[in-house]
Structure 1
Amino acid sequence: MSDINIRVTGQAGRITLTRGAALNALSYEMCMAIDTALRAWAGDDAVKLVVIDAEGDKAFCAGGDIAELYATGTAGDYAYGRKFWRDEYRLNAYIFEYPKPVVSFLQGFTMGGGVGIGCHGTHRVVGDSSQIAMPEVGIGLIPDVGGTLMLALAPGRLGEYLGTTASRMKAADAIHAGFADHYIPESFWPVLISGLERDGDPQILEFAAQKPPAGTLEPLQADVDRCFAGETLTDILTVLKADDSDFAETTLRTMGRNAPLAMACTVELLHRLRGSQLGIRKALKNEYRYTYRSMEKGDFLEGIRAQIIDKDRQPKWQYAAQEVPASAVSQMLMPLGVDALVFEEENT
Structure 2
Amino acid sequence: MTEMPEAEMPRSEMPRSEMIARKDRRAGRLTFNRPQALNALSHEMVQVIDAALRAWRDDPEVALVVIDAAGERAFCAGGDIAAVYRAGLAGDHRLGRAFFRDEYVMNARIAGYPKPVVAFMQGFVMGGGVGVGGHASHRIVGETTQVAMPETGIGMIPDVGGSWLLAHAPGRCGEYLGLTGARMGPGDAIFAGFADSFVPEADWPALKDRLAETGDVNLILPHPAPEAPLGDRDLSAFGAASVAEITAALQAAGDEAALKVLGRNSPLSLAATLALVRAARGDRDIRESLSRELRFTARATAESDFLEGVRAQIIDKDRNPRWSADAGPAHVAAMLAPLGEGELNWEDSE
Give the TM bin, normalised by the shorter chain.
Answer: over 0.9
1:287 maps to which residue? 293
What is the alpha-carbon distance in structure 1 between the residues aligned to residue 161 and residue 115 of structure 2? Answer: 19
Specify the SS of the correspondent of 1:296. helix
TM-score, scaled to structure 1: 0.94
1:22-171 map, 5 Å:
22-171=37-186
Instruction: Select the residue among 307, 330, 335 that pairs with 1:332.
Output: 335
Unpaired segments of 5 or more residues in structure 1?
none
Specify the SS of the correspondent of 1:155. coil
Specify the SS of the correspondent of 2:302. coil
> What do the CA deviations read for 1:232-287 (whole angstroms, capped 9, x no partner)?
2122112112223xxx211001111211100110001111122x333201100000
Are residues 347 and 124 of structure 1, via their aligned partners in 2, closer, same or farther at CA, if it must alter by over 3 Å? closer
- What amino acid maps onto 1:258 in structure 2? N
What is the alpha-carbon distance in structure 1 between the residues aligned to residue 315 and residue 256 of structure 2? Answer: 30
Aligned 8 A contact 2:283 2:289 in 1? no
Tell me the percent identity.
Answer: 51
What is the alpha-carbon distance in structure 1 between the residues aligned to residue 258 and residue 331 of structure 2? Answer: 24
Shift of 1:63: 0.5
What is the alpha-carbon distance in structure 1 between the residues aligned to residue 290 and residue 310 of structure 2? Answer: 22
What is the alpha-carbon distance in structure 1 between the residues aligned to residue 39 and residue 229 of structure 2? Answer: 27
> What do the CA deviations read for 1:183-241 (whole angstroms, capped 9, x no partner)?
00000000000000000011111x2x111221321111xx11x1111122122112112
- What amino acid maps onto 2:321 in structure 1? P
Aligned 8 A contact 1:149 1:278 in 2? no
Shift of 1:324: 3.4
Q: Given the alignment of the two structures, is residue 184 of structure 1 paired with residue 194 of structure 2, yes or no?
A: no
What is the alpha-carbon distance in structure 2 between the residues aligned to residue 166 and residue 172 of structure 1? Answer: 17
What is the alpha-carbon distance in structure 2 between the residues aligned to residue 292 and residue 234 of structure 1? Answer: 26
1:212 maps to which residue? 225
Specify the SS of the correspondent of 1:318. coil
Specify the SS of the correspondent of 1:105. strand
Instruction: Select the residue among 270, 273, 283 that pairs with 1:266.
Output: 273
Aligned 8 A contact 1:152 1:159 in 2? yes
Q: Given the alignment of the two structures, is residue 255 of structure 1 paired with residue 255 of structure 2, yes or no?
A: no
Instruction: Select the residue among 189, 203, 208 that pairs with 1:174.
Output: 189
TM-score, scaled to structure 2: 0.93
Instruction: Select the residue among 229, 241, 246 that pairs with 1:236.
Output: 246
Shift of 1:147: 0.4
1:10-29 map, 5 Å:
10-29=25-44
Unpaired segments of 5 or more residues in structure 2?
1-13
What is the alpha-carbon distance in structure 2 between the residues aligned to residue 347 and residue 15 of structure 1? Answer: 21
What is the alpha-carbon distance in structure 2 between the residues aligned to residue 69 and residue 90 of structure 1? Answer: 18
Aligned 8 A contact 1:234 1:324 in 2? no
What is the alpha-carbon distance in structure 2 between the residues aligned to residue 107 and residue 277 of structure 1? Answer: 30
